[in-house]
Amino acid sequence: MYKQISRLIIYRDMSGESILSKLGNIFEDFDNGSDTPEHLRSRIYVEVRRLLEVATKYGFDNDLWHNYLTFLIITDENPFSLTYEKAGKQEGTVNSFAINDFEVFKELFDFDFSKIERELNVNCFSTLSSYQAIAKREQIYNKNVSEKVRALSKKIEAAANGNEVFEAVAEFYRDYGVGMFGLNKAFRVVSDDNDFRICPITNMEPIVLSDLIGYELQKKLLTENTEAFVSGKGANNVLLYGDSGTGKSTSIKAIVNRYYDSGLRMIEIYKHQFCYLSRIISEIKNRNYRFIIYMDDLSFEDQETEYKYLKAIIEGGVETKPDNVLIYATSNRRHLIKETWNDKNDSQMMGDIHRCETVEEKLSLVNRFGLSIGYFKPSRVEFDNIVLELAARHPEISLDKEQILAEAHAWELRNGGISGRTAQQFVNHLYGRSTD
């Protein structure tokens, strides 16, 4: 195995801590007789456990060794894979190096583990080649990654040589891209010690726009803007504002689910991380995806100044915001920044001799969102319609309409008032009660 790994060119820069690299070292020590059988077995079991952890995380099945090698291919960001993600299949000398590497991967796919299993008295590699995964809910693993890995793995298994592997992988990069951005819908920013990293969200809810009852105009405006964005046309940053529990966040999540196959991705960022915005955008601006930078429940208190980072990014900074990035934010406040009576009172300057300019600076942030969409609490009639339609999706709920509405009215009085969220919580309660 180490002999095959040593022949890699483009995919050579994989971490020395990878399972493949560790197994290569083990096989080298086995062939050279430089380690004891007992210790070799122990080292193999460590890597098998790591492989099982990866398989569980991504829902791999059948031949876990093949799935793992495929996972390496589609997550390795190198000049070849990034170019093919951006521009599709190209003619060039680099293709010959890529075919060399795919010949190596094909050999690794077909690697014969029988000798080491026989001499070390282990059967773990044979077991991994016909693994029967335990069925589990898709929320537990990343279904997007699992399906794509297993589909490409089957194509590589059937390939006769490196050229056929090249064609299959090139098609994959063109259709889905490479690395975590190619495989996942949504991401969060994790920050610490003045640095950050972008991490995938692997269990995003499968929400669709029809799950949000009503708000047809709001959904239409958001859909039209997003369709223009993913099509490479002019589109606006969007602020969804209004009452809590009305579906602002749900709408954005549903939009990401709907346009994922068109290359849309979402990065969630919190207010205290706005200082990283420029660096985040620099990291994603040359990728072949459309990114929504998502800011949930956005608002600023009087003394908070993080909004200045946001203003500079949206409009006014030296560096132009790239065409593949938009900002979608939700807020309960129309103007985002808290206003006080002193802001409105000409007789109280509060030490600021240019009070009007200060107020204008605070309020100008919202004007930098080209599209503002209001979400407001439903009327009593609209609330009743939402409750009844949600309840109709659960045949297990046997109450008649009058009983459902009577209980819904009592529920909303005790649990936050009229809103789509309250209606959903009430129906969840009914459904849970009906299935006891």
In this prediction, residue 318 carries a pLDDT of 53
Chain segment 251-297, per-residue pLDDT in tens = 999 999 999 988 899 999 988 888 888 889 988 988 889 999 999 98
In this prediction, residue 109 carries a pLDDT of 94
Residues 195 and 324 in one domain: yes
**H or E segment and range at residue 373:** strand 371-375
Confidence of residue 360 (pLDDT cuts 50, 70, 90): low
At 201, list the tokens: 């969200």
Using alpha carbons only, what angle is made at residue 151 by residues 253 and 61, rounded to the nearest 5 degrees? 90
The position carrying tokens 């949000």 is 212
Minimum mean pLDDT range among 20-24, 65-69, 176-180? 176-180
Residues 304 and 424 in one domain: no
Domain that holds residue 422: 380-434
Residues 82 and 108 in one domain: yes
Chain segment 87-137, per-residue pLDDT in tens = 777 787 889 999 999 999 999 999 999 999 999 999 988 888 877 766 555
Which residues, including other chains, have CB under 8 Å from residue 391's CB and lie 6 or more apart? 397, 399, 404, 427, 430
Residues 208 and 313 in one domain: yes
**H or E segment and range at residue 266:** strand 264-268
The DSSP bridge partners found for residue 70 are: none
Question: Mean pLDDT across the stretch 24-44?
Answer: 93
In this prediction, residue 434 carries a pLDDT of 77
Between 242 and 434, whose confidence is greater? 242
Does the pLDDT of residue 155 top 80, yes or no? yes
Q: What is the DSSP letter of 273?
A: G
Residues 290 and 350 in one domain: yes
The mean predicted confidence, pLDDT, of the chain is: 85
What Å distances lie between residue 354 and 305, 306, 341, 358, CA to CA?
A: 18, 21, 16, 6
In this prediction, residue 353 carries a pLDDT of 47
What is the CATH number for 249?
3.40.50.300
Residues 394 and 344 in one domain: no
Alpha helices in 110-161 (DSSP H): 114-120, 124-128, 143-158
Residues 144 and 288 in one domain: no
As a whole number of angstroms, the distance between CA 328 and CA 221 comes to 13
Between 171 and 137, whose confidence is greater? 171
As a whole number of angstroms, the distance between CA 24 and CA 31 comes to 11
Confidence of residue 306 (pLDDT cuts 50, 70, 90): low
Does the pLDDT of residue 362 top 70, yes or no? no
Question: Mean pLDDT across the stretch 393-414?
Answer: 90
In this prediction, residue 310 carries a pLDDT of 74
